[in-house]
Amino acid sequence: MKFFRRALAFFAVLAVAFQAVGSFLSWAQRQEDAPADAWIDEDEDEFEDA
């Protein structure tokens, strides 16, 4: 019975770890898809006004 509980706990922790890694990779992918040149456009407008 002790072995069964430890194995169940191990698989539960493993499932949570995989979920955390999947969430992180999903977040990282969304960050890559975001427009990265938003700050550059704003800086160019400031230089044109000067």
Q: How far apart are CA 29 and CA 32, in angstroms?
A: 5
Name the residue type at position 29. Answer: Q
pLDDT reported for residue 31: 86
Q: What angle do CA 38, 44, 46 make, to 5 degrees?
A: 110
pLDDT reported for residue 22: 97
pLDDT reported for residue 33: 74
Query: The pTM is what?
Result: 0.57
Structure tokens at 7: 């194995």
- pLDDT tens-digit readout, 1-50: 999 999 999 999 999 999 999 999 999 988 877 766 556 555 555 566 55
